[in-house]
Structure 1
Amino acid sequence: MSDRLVTLITAPERMVADAIADALVERRHAACVNIVPGLTSVYRWDGRIERDEEWLLVAKTTRSAYPGLEACVLDLHPDELPEILAMPIATGLAGYLAWVGAQTEPQG
């Protein structure tokens, strides 16, 4: 099994999504982040059903880079409890998965 992950993160507005995506790639916590507009989230919060327009970030990372990704999102995200979900990538194009690993390795 690959140590590569795909991570889903929601953001309440485009500026927040851009800031998180830029920071994740710049700090090598993610190799690539796709920003998908037009997401509607329906959820229960504080006993009420909420409906919000959000932006979806799809970040490709590794298990070893994930703790930094999570910490970075928590630092930059305005929500009290942001959505951060990571799922293993079972398989994929070998060259792309190698690139994800190379882009998330610490430099120095």
Structure 2
Amino acid sequence: MVLTMSMYPMLRALCVQLHSAFTGSYVPGHHSVLLINCPNEQAAKDIGRALMERRMAACINILPRTSTMYYWKGEVQEATEILMFVKTRTSKIQRVTDFVKSVHPYETPEVLSFPVEDGSLPYMKWMDEAVPDD
């Protein structure tokens, strides 16, 4: 039982690859996009580069200057932030989240993930090559 549970991520990854190879289609939810807000461009670039160097993301888009309103400590706040789109394997979400929380300057950083339901199969295969499954 323990052996089976410990091998589950590897077996699931293999099944997804076999499914894609035989059917030529994508398994929904195998990849995800995460949204991460940062206080400035340098913080976003530092976090993005660290994620890329650790092979936890295939691609990161950094969008400049988003206007943000949020509720914090009993008051509505307004800020200018930098929004990151992080594309990765769904199996990496927890590692990405833990890493971002450990280096992010915010007390409670925003890390939201959305599963990819469909997309370009060649792009998804490239993502698999860029982000190895542990």
TM-score scaled by structure 2? 0.76
Alpha carbons 1:38, 1:54 under 8 Å: kept: yes
- Structure 1's unaligned 5+ residue stretches are none
User: Which structure dedicates a bigger proportion of its chain to strand?
Assistant: 1
Where 2:88 maps in the other structure, the secondary structure is strand
Give the letter aligned to residue 83 of structure 1.
E
**CA offsets, 1:51-92, max 9 Å, x none?**
000000000001112122111111110111111000000101
User: Which structure dedicates a bigger proportion of its chain to helix?
Assistant: 2
Corresponding residue number in structure 1 for 2:81: 54
- Structure 2's unaligned 5+ residue stretches are 1-27
- What is the percent sequence identity of the aligned residues? 34
- Paired residues in the alignment total 107
Give the letter aligned to residue 99 of structure 1.
W
Q: Distance in 2 between matches of 1:65 and 1:99?
A: 16
Q: Which contiguous aligned blocks of 4+ residues in structure 1 show a shift greater than 6 angstroms?
A: none
Q: Distance in 2 between matches of 1:104 and 1:84?
A: 19
- Higher RCO, 1 or 2 (CA under 8 Å, sep at least 6)? 1
Which one has a bigger Cα radius of gyration? 2
Give the letter aligned to residue 62 of structure 2.
I
Alpha carbons 1:2, 1:88 under 8 Å: kept: yes
TM-score scaled by structure 1? 0.94
Alignment pair present for 1:5 and 2:42: no
Selected match of 2:97 from 70, 74, 87: 70
